Amino acid sequence: MKTEIAGIKPEITRQIKFDLLRDMLRIRRFEEKSAELYSLGKIRGFLHLYIGEEAIAVGAMRVLKPEDSIVATYREHGHALARGISMGSVMAEMFGKENGCSRGRGGSMHLFDAALKFYGGYAIVGGGLPIAVGLALAARMQKTNSVTACFFGDGAVAEGEFHESMNLAGLWQLPVVFLCENNLYAMGTALDRHQSQTNIAKKAESYGIKSETVDGMDVLAVEEATGKAIELVRATSRPYLIEYRTYRFRAHSMYDAELYRNKDEVELWKTRCPINGLIASMKEDGILNDHDLSEIESSIALEINQAVEYAEAGKWEPLEDLTKFVYTETLNFEL
């Protein structure tokens, strides 16, 4: 696990690590609360937890700028929170309330925030990649300096849309960074049971796209590698692919009996928990104590309580509005 941040003073390093830890714990506790609320029936539909993979969204989001665009999957609560969508509006969305970030029309798998350029949670595996390529194309044609970050799982790599998107982004040299969260499973199908070439980073080569594999359980490694990749994309307007090696600690969704993997494997990966890892190394460096940790925990607990209250207080959209948001109501777009 990385402990140094190159070229940065120790006191700043401490602050950065504190922030990273806090951001990861925030997601972890939020997800735990979501699972609890799911069993209480407050949240319904599909719920995919990000527990175990927090280092990726947290590390990557920190190096993206406000003008950058983000495309994510249905396992995107962590990305939404790390990007800055409030906990309350994500929770309210999962409750199906009008004060949710998608007014209760999307639910857990479809979080959006136009102002934060969070272009959504896509629940058709691979379906977000072409959109990300298009956002990057728009940025390029408008000569802006923005980069599009596209998150997807290892399962998406088997879809034609992955290959079409890689090819077009490589061919047209578009400023998009493909961020593959390889958690070794697509639902119950292990990587080596769905890929002829299990080294995903290597696939980028055939599209003329630079790539690398990064330890997705190490938030500092994620931040550093992703930061470099994004600045390279920004400077050269060429795509890049990162394969993060990670693992989901929980079931695929709330309906999964986990028949496809054994407990030892899960326990082994849990020893590499990105949060515990960072805590241990910070303690070892003497920059974190139990008191600090409990302060972080209690502020997160407060935020979560407030988020749940916000969601509880939200209104159900009136039935009269059922068919709203299908078409734009005010026409005459400026041509």
Partner 1 sequence: MNSQITYREAIRLSLREALQNDARVFLMGEDVGRYGGAYACSKGLLDEFGPDRVRDTPLSESVIVGAGIGAALGGMRPIVEVMTVNFSLLALDQVVNNAATLRHMSGGQFSIPLVVRMATGGGRQLAAQHSHSLECWYAHIPGIKVLTPATVNDARWMLPAALKDPDPVFIFEHAMLYPMEGDLDQLQGPADISKAALRREGSDITLITYGGSLFKTLEAADILSKDGIRAEVIDLRILRPLDTETIIESVSRTHRAVIIDEGWRTGSFAAEISAQIMEKAFDQLDYPVARVCSEEVPMPYAKHLEDAALPQPERIVKASREMF
Ligand X SMILES: Cc1ncc(C[n+]2csc(CCOP(=O)(O)OP(=O)(O)O)c2C)c(N)n1
Kindly state the smallest distance separating residue 156's Cβ from partner 1, in Å.
12
52 binds ligand X (CB under 6 A): no
124 binds partner 1 (CB under 8 A): yes
Kindly state the smallest distance separating residue 239's Cβ from partner 1, in Å.
13
Contact string 128-167 vs Mg ion (x = CB under 5 A)? -------------------------xx-------------
Residue numbers 83-102 binding partner 1 by CB under 8 A: 100-102
Angle at 28 between CA 22 and CA 32, to 5 degrees: 140
Which two structure tokens, joined as six digits, stand for 186? 């697509």
Angle at 13 between CA 77 and CA 7, to 5 degrees: 115
Kindly state the smallest distance separating residue 186's Cβ from ligand X, in Å.
3
Residue closer to partner 1 (CB basis): 106 or 277: 106
Kindly state the smallest distance separating residue 105's Cβ from partner 1, in Å.
5
215 binds Mg ion (CB under 5 A): no
**Which one of the spans 29-37, 120-128, 274-282, 321-329 is the region binding ligand X (CB under 6 A)?**
120-128
Residue type, 238: R
**Structure letter (DSSP) for residue 113:** B
Kindly state the smallest distance separating residue 155's Cβ from Mg ion, in Å.
5
Whole-angstrom Cα distance, residue 180 to residue 170?
A: 16
Residues touching ligand X: how many (CB under 6 A)?
14
Options 119, 185, 240, 310; binder of ligand X; rule CB under 6 A: 185
Whole-angstrom Cα distance, residue 145 to residue 250?
A: 38
Whole-angstrom Cα distance, residue 154 to residue 159?
A: 10
- The residue with its CB nearest to ligand X is 153
Closest listed residue to residue 282, CA positions, set 13, 9, 58? 13
Whole-angstrom Cα distance, residue 128 to residue 264?
A: 33
Kindly state the smallest distance separating residue 46's Cβ from ligand X, in Å.
8
Which two structure tokens, joined as six digits, stand for 125? 């595996």
**Structure letter (DSSP) for residue 157:** G
Query: Helices marked H in the chain — which ranges?
Result: 10-39, 54-62, 77-83, 87-95, 128-141, 160-172, 191-194, 200-205, 219-236, 263-270, 274-284, 290-313
73 binds Mg ion (CB under 5 A): no
Distance of CA 192 to the CA centre of its chain: 23
Options 20, 81, 94, 132; binder of partner 1; rule CB under 8 A: 132
- Residue 171: Cβ-neighbour burial (10 angstroms; 0-12, 13-18, 19+): exposed
- Largest Cα span, the chain: 62
Kindly state the smallest distance separating residue 299's Cβ from Mg ion, in Å.
31
135 binds partner 1 (CB under 8 A): yes
Residue numbers 59-78 binding ligand X by CB under 6 A: 75
Residue closer to ligand X (CB basis): 193 or 324: 193
Binding site for ligand X (CB under 6 A): 75, 123-125, 153-156, 181, 183, 185-187, 252
Binding site for partner 1 (CB under 8 A): 69, 100-106, 110, 112-114, 119-120, 122, 124, 127, 129-139, 141-142, 148, 160-161, 164-165, 167-168, 171-172, 324-328, 331-333, 335
